[in-house]
Structure 1
Amino acid sequence: MITAEQNEYLCATGPGTPMGELMRRYWIPAMMSVELPEPDCPPVRVALLSERLIAIRDTSGRVGLMDEFCAHRGVSLWFGRNEENGLRCPYHGWKYDVTGQCIEVPSEPAASGFCQKIRLKSYPVVEKNGVVWAYMGPPEEQPPLPDFEWMRVPQSHIFLSKRWQESNYLQAMEGGIDSSHVSFLHRSDLNTDPLHKNTAGAKYARSTNTVFDILESPGGLLIGARRDADPGFHYWRVTQWMFPWYTLIPPYKGNAINGHAWVPMDDHNCMAWTMTFHPTRPLTDKEVEGMKAGAGVHADLIPGTFRPKANMDNDYLMDRAAQKAGRTYSGVKGIAIQDSSLQESMGPIADRTRENLVSTDNAIIMARMRLRKAAQAVQAGKKAPGLDSAAQNVRSASFILPAGGAFKEAALDAVRVREGEEPVAV
């Protein structure tokens, strides 16, 4: 367990908090490009790290991300008119460009220069591979744009989704690095989900005898989970956790790689991004249609929103008959919703003072320690970890080793990005 003070340290990500300042040293996936589909489209509310922001695509196609509220009297600019290369407040007509600079105050003479003195807080943004990335930290600390493999594959090779999760980012992310729960919570889906079934890995992943071997990496942690395979052999699943909130899930033979980004909206909510990509082939129409409907680690969403159809308000469509019959282990349908239902059940912020951790929680313990040390390093004026391409340019993997085989050497080789080659998977 950790103390209440340590828990707050890790969970609070607003301006001025240690963890918030750490996270502001990274480029953040703020929104999907399709949320701003065309010039002068409606503005979009964006919640990031306990800040309320507004995003626009102006007449020239440029994207801006700025404070949601007009500098005049605090009206939400979500109600604004996006027109003629700027967002105009409908209350008194104050207008802002994509940098947050006020460019017109109709009530004041242009010669007074008043509007030049008014500027909303805004953040640099870059669009790449369907994502609008934002940097919210000190300008002098701005790093290069991330270089994850999924950012470089052709659009035909990747499917992106995101869903609103009603919990703190940390308990969501900890679920992403906890490989042991797969044998229980997701065991039924390993036989039925179209992106998992009929693979040897899905068969072996049902084993509940899980032993961990964890390696520190420049970008975070390389987490090996060992299960029994055929006699004399072990099945290894290697999950990547990368600063500050990314996970890569071990792939199954012939299938794509899945990853997550657990991005805090505020201390009680996060946006769970899911990236499914294949390095060497386009995703099939069947795969894409399945993911849109909630297959794999994606979720079926309420149309026009990022909230899952199965959510806390309807008890995640719990089916006790299916649970009792074994059609689903937990009674909740879908891998993503099985995870979110239990993570949200902990409350908006899990009370970690009541935990009783065991050996299968070692990756979670190590990730907490690394996050805390990284935040302390930033407070001391040092660089945040995992910002360079070498730390980010890795894969997850799964493989078979003889009992007693050298895990470290096999894992470090398996997670290397080999351009033009399929993932190492069982």
Structure 2
Amino acid sequence: MLRAEDNKFLTESGAGTGMGELLRRFWIPVLLSEELPEADGEPKKITVMGEELLAFRDSRGVVGVVDQYCPHRGANLWLGRNEECGIRCVYHGWKFDTDGRCVDMPTSYPDLNAKDLIRTKSYPAREWGEMIWAYMGPADAMPELPALEMALLPPAHRYVSKKWQDCNWVQALEGSIDTAHFTFAHLAFDKEENEILDIKKHFVNPLVRMSTDQMRWIAQDPRPVIKISPHEAGLTIAGGRLTDSDNIYWRIAQFLMPVHAYAPSAMPGENIFGQSFVPVTDTNCWIYTYAWNPERPLTEDERAAYDRGNGVIAEVDENYVPLRNKRNDYLIDRKLQKTSSYTGIKGVSEQDAAVQDSQGPIADRTREHLGPTDLGIMHFRKLLMDAARALQAGEAPPHLAHQDRYTVRSGGCVTHKAKDLAAVMVERFGDAAGFVGKPRAAAAE
């Protein structure tokens, strides 16, 4: 468990808080590119870590992220006209470019050059992997964009979406790197026959082609041994389950500082799933969800399945709110819960959201009783809090110097029980930390 003051420190993301300042030292996604589909189009209100901002795509196609409110009299710039490389306030006509500079001030005399003295808050923005990223930290400490594999690949190799969630970002991310909860939260079963159901026909991701053996091992061993391997971009978190022989079935997740996590589901050649958890306020978040395949383009059938909700990708409405959510009790089916599913909820993403939201808007970690399978959660919290406290003491996170080491993969494998984690990682990924280098199919966008 955590002390109350540590839980507060871990979960606060506002400007000036320890964790909020740590998050602001990294590039984080704030929108999907598809949410700003055209130059001079409609601007988009966004709230990121409690800050009310406005995103717009100017006449050149360049995206700006600026304060939502005009510095003149506080009118909301969302009402403004997006025109000729700037957003113009409809109250008195002040106009601002993507860098926050005032480029026109009709209410002032031209010879005073008053507009040159006015700026509104703005943050650097970049498009990367079909997401719009913002850097909200000190200008002189801006790092490179993280070299996520899915962003290095051609667009045909990836699928990107997002979903809303009604809880603090930390508990949502903790759920994603918890390799032990699969046995109960996601596994389908037949109570009458007392056997595991075909994963492709029920609640779990049908594009993860888990064998009957893998299903049985997950069901029979709910207490995987957890192994942790720190690396230059974050943590590798592996859960090993007993099999029917001298082998161990490993499910290997990745946490990448400070908000990214990769699911441990993919076997060699299968699509890989990742998520980025971005606080809106301290009690809700956007989760950017993506699937990619480094070896081939995604098929139309795969994309259609993701549109309907699949794996960590939720089935969402036009506002990216999951169709099964807190307000409709995730459409839980109690009959199904008694016969075929521990949760009675359809969809891996929705099952995760239900249990994470149920912990409260901000989980009270002073009431926890952690066990051996929570080792990855403990290391994750320590890494985040140590980095935030070091930053408060003037020490920048070392991960900022290693954005090129974010090109990692997660996934599963079966290896002999005598092998240690490093050997397992080499066997599965060719590297003891899961690094794969620049993808062979990489192409600049």
CA–CA distance in structure 1, aligned partners of residues 283 and 223 of structure 2 = 34
CA–CA distance in structure 1, aligned partners of residues 183 and 128 of structure 2 = 36
The CA deviation string for residues 78-108 of structure 1, in whole angstroms up to 9 with x for no partner, is: 1111112211112222211111112222222
In structure 2, which of residues 411, 420, 430 is the aligned counterpart of residue 406 of structure 1?
420
Aligned: 1:270 with 2:282? no
In structure 2, which of residues 198, 211, 225 is the aligned counterpart of residue 211 of structure 1?
225
Q: In the alignment, residue 51 of structure 2 is paired with which amino acid?
A: E
Aligned: 1:123 with 2:123? yes
Distance apart, 1:229 and its partner CA:
2.0
CA–CA distance in structure 2, aligned partners of residues 109 and 136 of structure 1 = 33
SS at match of 2:276: strand
Residue 238 of structure 1 is matched in structure 2 by 252
Residue 290 of structure 1 is matched in structure 2 by 305
- Contact 1:242 1:386 survives alignment (8 Å): no
Task: Evaluate the alpha carbon distance shift between residue 58 and residue 421 of structure 1 in structure 2; reply closer, same or farther with a 3 A threshold.
Answer: closer
- Contact 2:102 2:118 survives alignment (8 Å): yes
Residue 408 of structure 2 is matched in structure 1 by 394
The CA deviation string for residues 261-293 of structure 1, in whole angstroms up to 9 with x for no partner, is: 111112111111112000010111111100011
Residue 384 of structure 2 is matched in structure 1 by 371
How do 1:219-368 and structure 2 match up within 5 A?
219-250=233-264, 251-303=266-318, 305-326=319-340, 328-368=341-381
Structure 2 residue runs of 5 or longer lacking an equivalent are 189-197
Farther off after superposition, 360-369 or 402-411: 402-411
CA–CA distance in structure 1, aligned partners of residues 106 and 267 of structure 2 = 60
Residue 196 of structure 1 is matched in structure 2 by 208
Task: Evaluate the alpha carbon distance shift between residue 101 and residue 419 of structure 1 in structure 2; reply closer, same or farther with a 3 A threshold.
Answer: closer
Distance apart, 1:21 and its partner CA:
0.9
Task: Evaluate the alpha carbon distance shift between residue 416 and residue 100 of structure 1 in structure 2; reply closer, same or farther with a 3 A threshold.
Answer: closer
SS at match of 1:39: coil
- Contact 1:386 1:392 survives alignment (8 Å): no
SS at match of 1:64: strand
Structure 1 residue runs of 5 or longer lacking an equivalent are none
Given the two structures, how large is their TM-score scaled by the length of structure 1?
0.94
- Contact 1:202 1:252 survives alignment (8 Å): no
Coordinate RMSD, CA, aligned: 1.8
SS at match of 2:181: helix
- Contact 1:279 1:419 survives alignment (8 Å): no
Task: Evaluate the alpha carbon distance shift between residue 16 and residue 420 of structure 1 in structure 2; reply closer, same or farther with a 3 A threshold.
Answer: closer
Q: In the alignment, residue 259 of structure 2 is paired with which amino acid?
A: W
CA–CA distance in structure 2, aligned partners of residues 412 and 366 of structure 1 = 22
The aligned length equals 420
Residue 191 of structure 2 is matched in structure 1 by none
Given the two structures, how large is their TM-score scaled by the length of structure 2?
0.90
**How many percent of aligned residue pairs carry the same amino acid?**
40
CA–CA distance in structure 2, aligned partners of residues 182 and 191 of structure 1 = 15
Q: In the alignment, residue 218 of structure 1 is paired with which amino acid?
A: E
- Contact 1:209 1:228 survives alignment (8 Å): no
How do 1:66-215 and structure 2 match up within 5 A?
66-188=66-188, 190-192=199-201, 193-199=205-211, 201-207=214-220, 208-215=222-229
In structure 1, which of residues 402, 417, 420 is the aligned counterpart of residue 436 of structure 2?
417
